[in-house]
Amino acid sequence: MPDVGEGLTEAEILKWYVQPGDTVTDGQVVCEVETAKAAVELPIPYDGVVHELRFPEGTTVDVGEVIISVNVAPGAAAEQPQTAQPAVEEPAAKDAAAATTAAAAEPADEPTGRQPVLVGYGVAETSTKRRPRKGAQAPAQQPAARAAVQGELNGHHAAAAPAAPRPLAKPPVRKLAKDLGVDLATVTPTGPDGIITREDVHAAVSLAAASVAAPAAVPVPQQAPQAEPVQAPAPAPVAAGARETRVPVKGVRKATAQAMVGSAFTAPHVTEFVTVDVTRTMRLVEELKSDKDMAGLRVNPLLLVAKALLVAIRRNPEINASWDEAAQEIVLKHYVNLGIAAATPRGLIVPNIKDAHDKTLPELAAALGELVSTAREGKTTPAAMQGGTVTITNVGVFGVDTGTPILNPGESAILAVGAIKLQPWVHKGKVKPRQVTTLALSFDHRLVDGELGSKVLADVAAVLEQPKRLITWA
């Protein structure tokens, strides 16, 4: 499993496009995985025959785990390909053909050649083999320890392996144990060389508190994979008389929840509101739709809202910043990567338009159109969601007047756009029906004070009320 995005430690296998026995070629897409940010298709860097799928669809796998092996010398294979096996298995391969596969279950002590990695992610000589440490088991003791573990899994009591100074576990497993309040020193390891796995942590939780349901952030080992997990996991059919349904929290939904909680309780939020007459902006939208320079482009109110926010940021550049907690510094950004919150079948994502401040109106329209269509198809890449500076969320498409949006982590401000409705409005001294909307701007009060936030919101409203300011304020 490659690291398909900065800081990602795991991914869920959504769908296999190949099966054991299938012939594959270098660069062929073999599976689709969902990270905490997006769905990504993974290619294979070899020509050969699929020997084994290590994990079934629906399994969450740590970065660095071998998920597929390919026989690059099919004529030398001695046995039939295997189907996908459960995530927990012995580290050594059970067949002699493993020596000819593209991925071995355990690295040898001697240096090996090119290790199997996916196209585009580089080649690295890596190994999960750990050097011996004080207090660790000798090789001769490992079979006995594994027998004890097997006895424990079968429900029989067995003596625990000698304690090591520090339990062996990968960073994602350590984080899981920390989140669940599990002391790794009390967990019985079942992984290769005494490494603690996710399943071991969940088993410890179940043993410690059988009456408390384990969190659903990671699939339970015995849970059957979903048949077609290419869309957001829908609730299972409700049985007659059922009062509750539990849906696993993972992928984009899990990441969104963690990010929003972290943002809400890290950055002190302030939200301000303004209601504005956008009748002239709506007229301009209709005019632009028929303009030949905008032919084939997505033209809607969001386009002009985005342009208005960019003008406001240019007039008040201090709003475009971030807070560096470690250095205790405010980082002023001299570029605008404009985030657009998008509701997708997998959950809320916030891809951003890079260097939006430099784009003309047609270029901005083209970028918005591509961003939206890519998000709807579920093809947004992790890179497209990194490096945002400010965000727009359009809650008006749901008929909502406005809201108090939570900042996208690491950003200084987020603008919510409410529904545009025909309302009675005082215009030139008379009450007339006008197109009216409400804007809400949330900002990080550590680096944006009330005056600055108010100026930015007022400028956005002023441009939308009088769109000719797009020219006069340029």
User: For residue 107, what are the contacts with CB-CB under 8 A and spacing of at least 6?
Assistant: 127, 128, 129
How far, rounded to the nearest angstrom, does the alpha carbon of residue 317 sit from its chain's CA centroid? 29
Which one, of 66, 28, 20, 68, lies nearest residue 47 by Cα? 28
Q: Do the bridges between strand 413-417 and strand 390-394 make them parallel or antiparallel, or are there none, so unpaired?
A: parallel
d(CA 299, CA 293): 11
Q: Do residues 374 and 384 make contact, with C-beta atoms less than 8 angstroms apart?
A: yes
The reply to whether 334 belongs to the active site is: no
DSSP 177: H
Beta-sheet strands, E only, within 184-312: 195-196, 269-277
Among the options 202, 334, 427, 445, which is catalytic?
A: 445
DSSP 153: H
Structure tokens at 229: 């997990």
* Alpha helices by DSSP H, 298-376: 301-315, 361-376
Q: In Å, what is the CA distance from 267 to each residue of 408, 411, 412, 443, 467?
A: 10, 10, 9, 9, 33
Q: What is the CA radius of gyration of the chain?
A: 27
Q: Do residues 456 and 283 make contact, with C-beta atoms less than 8 angstroms apart?
A: no
d(CA 328, CA 311): 29
Q: Do residues 130 and 193 make contact, with C-beta atoms less than 8 angstroms apart?
A: yes
Burial of 12 (0-12, 13-18, 19+ CB in 10 A): buried
How many helices (H) and strands (E) the chain has is answered by: 9, 20
How far, rounded to the nearest angstrom, does the alpha carbon of residue 227 sit from its chain's CA centroid? 22
d(CA 299, CA 292): 12
Which one, of 123, 122, 94, 119, lies nearest residue 106 by Cα? 94
Give the other-Cβ count within 10 Å of 402's Cβ: 19
The CA dihedral of 185, 191, 195, 196, to the nearest 10 degrees, is -40
- Give catalytic residue positions: 445
